[in-house]
Amino acid sequence: MRRLTDVTITSADRPAPPPTRASRGLRPQRATRQAETPTAAPTPRPRRRRAMPPWWKRTRTGLTIGLALALLIGGPLWLIRSGKLDGTRTAVLAQLFDLSLQAGLKVDQIYVEGRKRVPPQDLIAALGIERGDPILGVDLAAARARVAALSGVKSVTIERRLPGELDVLVSEREPIAIWQNDGHYQLVDADGLAAGDNIDDFPGLPLMVGAGAPEHVTGLLAMLAAEKDLTIRVKASQWVSGQRWNIIVTGPAGDIEVRLPEDDPAAAWHELARIESEHKLLERKITAVDMRLPDRLVLRVPGGAEQTDKTISKPPARHKTPGRDA
């Protein structure tokens, strides 16, 4: 066999490239467009929304909340008022209270604090609650209203403490005077409201007489207290015709009626104190002192006769028109 020898290929020995069209004198051929590699379709850019003003966001939130509340509250209220749920509601509540009793949620103790003068039997009757009642079934608002309507009660608070305790806190009115009207006696407080009728516990309180007197009790007591020497002689104060006061004071021959004017009765009361200090007017045998006239003092003696005391001087006229009596 013929042995192959190693062959070394040089650049001159390399095969020539095939002739091109330009080398052959031909026009170069237009390059053909290569097919483009298909690519994925571009992702559409999200459309930007126009920013809404802040007030619109607040308004929209408020409308949403209002609509939700209207549906949540208005719907059940309409059903209850329409009577469609009365029977169902009563049955469900009765069953609920029975279950609560079985669970031990019943009234076991009622603690009352602050009661001083309100009769306990009246308070118990107004509460309308008994031991063994379902504590969840106690209408606290109705019980408060009944207790607050009692004479002498200023305010009341009732709290429910599970499983079986009710706490009642009573605030009573403090009496400052006794009011007599149509033969009935009643205690009144600084607001002119009823503070009970157990007048035997307050024998030292001033006595008022006449319809509408409690409404003026604060001004009356302030006027009387300004002249202590006269106040200790006051027996009663009568509100006359819804306009003015007659003050009944004690005298040597019996009671003396002091008729104060409608306008500025406090000034007349001070003047009476001055006259009493200088002339001892109330030590005379008189039954009435009329101070309603601006320029004179009229006294009534036993028997009904009236006279003007010229020995007692009065300051210049204070009133434009004389007061009216009943």
Query: Judging by beta carbons within 10 Å of its beta carbon (0-12, 13-18, 19+), is residue 234 exposed, middle or buried?
Result: middle
Share of the chain above pLDDT 90, in %: 54
Q: Which residues contact 51 (CB under 8 A, 6 or more apart)?
A: none
**132-179 per-position pLDDT tens digit:** 999 988 999 999 999 999 989 999 999 999 899 999 999 999 999 999
**265-309 per-position pLDDT tens digit:** 999 999 999 999 999 999 999 999 999 998 889 999 887 666 676
Task: Report the run of H or E that residue 172 belongs to, with start and end.
Answer: strand 165-172
**Can you give the pTM of this predicted structure?**
0.63
Under a CB-based contact definition with an 8 Å cutoff, are residues 253 and 220 in contact? no
What the block records as the tokens of 253 is: 């021959």
Q: How far apart are CA 304 and CA 289, in angstroms?
A: 12
pLDDT at 225: 96
pLDDT at 271: 95
Share of the chain above pLDDT 70, in %: 63
Q: How far apart are CA 235 and CA 199, in angstroms?
A: 16
Window from 39-43, 192-196, 224-228, 293-297 with minimum mean pLDDT:
39-43
Q: How far apart are CA 168 and CA 60, in angstroms?
A: 46
| Angle 151-154-158 from CA coordinates, rounded to 5° | 105
265-279 helix and 217-225 helix, angle to the nearest 10 degrees: 30
Q: How far apart are CA 61 and CA 225, in angstroms?
A: 63
pLDDT at 153: 95
List b or e across 157-171, with b for residues whose CB sees 16 or more CB atoms inside 10 angstroms.
Answer: ebeeeeebebebebe
3-state secondary structure of 199: helix
**87-131 per-position pLDDT tens digit:** 566 666 666 767 777 778 899 999 999 999 999 999 999 999 999
pLDDT at 263: 94
**Is the model's pLDDT at 196 over the cut of 60?**
yes
**Is the model's pLDDT at 52 over the cut of 60?**
no
